[in-house]
Amino acid sequence: MREEPVKTIPPPSVTSAPPGQSVVNFFTIISTPPSPEDAITFTNPVPGEVRGVPEYSWCFGDGLKGMGPGTAFNPAVLPSRNPGYYLCATYAKPGTKHVTLTVTWRVTFRLEGVIDVPLALIVMTATEDKPIATARAVLVRSATRALTAAQR
């Protein structure tokens, strides 16, 4: 009787911070939960292993690209003080940006004591439409300062 080992690869997902709408010229942090290398070993009919290694490729929209799973936002780690910690997109124009993550699993079969044999790639995608808006600062006179000036 032959073994039929089965393992399910989790589908990718896109997470962004801030959630919902982002603002032009500010960091938009983008990530996915990373999937570790995965392997299935078997002994019947021969000893061997099938191993999958994920590679992450991003298209953020506006021609922006990135690699790797990224790191989910942590309020204790600010992107302005920790450059390179997060996978970020900084959009120059407003509009809805179509963010696409492609996870390509490079799969190899290794028969014990023999070289690796590449198998067909497994390609999975996830997308998110990210609205990007413009913002402008408005100077507001402080109420405390206005009272002080009025009391003079």
Q: Which of 48, 31, 37, 49 is nearest to 9 (CA)?
A: 37
Q: What is the pLDDT of residue 10?
A: 84
Q: What is the mean pLDDT of residues 133-151?
A: 70
Helix/strand/coil percentages in the chain, nearest 5: 5, 45, 50
DSSP assignment of 93-129, as one string? S-EEEEEEEEEEEEEEEEETTS-EEE---EEEEEEEE
Residues 6 or more apart whose Cβ sits within 8 Å of residue 87 = 29, 30, 31, 58, 66, 68, 69, 70, 71
Whether the Cβ atoms of residue 29 and residue 90 lie closer than 8 Å to each other:
no
Q: What is the pLDDT of residue 125?
A: 97
In the structure encoding, which two tokens stand for residue 43, read together? 């002994």
Q: What is the pLDDT of residue 127?
A: 96
Query: Across the chain, what does the average pLDDT equal?
Result: 87
Cα 32 to its chain centre, rounded Å, is 4
Task: Confirm whether 6 is domain-assigned.
Answer: no
Task: Confirm whether 115 is domain-assigned.
Answer: yes
> Is the pLDDT score of 46 beyond 80?
no
Report how many domains make up the chain: 1
Task: Confirm whether 3 is domain-assigned.
Answer: no
Q: What is the pLDDT of residue 103?
A: 97
> What is the tens place of the pLDDT at every residue in 96-133?
999 999 999 999 988 877 788 899 999 999 999 999 99
Domain range holding 118? 15-151
Task: Confirm whether 135 is domain-assigned.
Answer: yes
Task: Confirm whether 5 is domain-assigned.
Answer: no
CATH code of the domain covering residue 60: 2.60.40.10
> Is the pLDDT score of 152 beyond 60?
no
> Is the pLDDT score of 85 beyond 90?
yes
> Is the pLDDT score of 149 beyond 60?
no
Q: Which of 4, 34, 13, 41 is nearest to 100 (CA)?
A: 13
Q: What is the pLDDT of residue 76?
A: 95
Whether the Cβ atoms of residue 103 and residue 31 lie closer than 8 Å to each other:
no
Task: Confirm whether 8 is domain-assigned.
Answer: no
> Is the pLDDT score of 51 beyond 80?
yes
Alpha helices in the chain (DSSP H): 143-151
> Is the pLDDT score of 150 beyond 60?
no
Place 43 in a pLDDT band, splitting at 50, 70 and 90.
confident
Task: Confirm whether 4 is domain-assigned.
Answer: no
Q: What is the pLDDT of residue 136?
A: 82
